[in-house]
Amino acid sequence: MNVKSFLLGLTAGFAAGAAGTLLSAPQSGQELRGTIRHTKDHWREHALEIQMNIQQVKESIQDVSKEGKESILTVASELKESIQAWKREADPAIHNLQEELAAIQATMEELERSIKQDAREEQPST
C-alpha cells in the first residue's frame, strides 16, 4: 500500500508540473515545439562540428607522431654516420699520438739510463 501511494503521488506531481509548465510558458505549444526543434538542430550541428574537429585533431596527432618517428630515425641515422666519420678521421690522429707517446716514453727511459750510467761513472772507486 505504501509503494502504491508513493507512485500515485509521484504521477500526480509529474502531471501537475507538466500542466504548470505548459500554462506558464510564454509561447504557445506550437511555438515552443518549434523553438525546441530549432535548439535541438542547433546543438546537433555543434555536436557534429565538435566530432569533426576531434577527428581532425586525431588525424593531426597521428600525422605528427608519424613525422616525429621518421624525423627521429633520420636524425639517429645521420648522427650515427657523423660519429663513424669522426671516428674514421680521428683514428689516424689517435694512432699517431700513441706512437709519439711511445717514442717519448722510450726516449725518457733511454735518458734515465744514460743519467744513471753517467752518475755511476762519476762516483770514485774505493
pTM of the model: 0.40
Length of the chain in residues, anyone? 126
- Sign of the torsion angle spanned by Cα atoms 38, 44, 48, 51: positive
Find the mean pLDDT for residues 90-113: 92
With 70 as the cut, is the pLDDT of residue 73 above it?
A: yes
Question: For 31-67, how does the pLDDT look when each residue is reduced to its tens digit (9 = 90+)?
Answer: 767 777 888 888 889 999 999 999 999 999 999 999 8
H helices within the chain, ranges in order? 2-24, 29-122
- The pLDDT of residue 29 is 67
The pLDDT value recorded for residue 4 is: 79
Q: 27 Cβ partners below 8 Å, 6+ apart?
A: 35
CA distance 76 to 31: 67
- Reported in sequence order, the residue ranges of the chain that DSSP labels E, i.e. its strands, are none
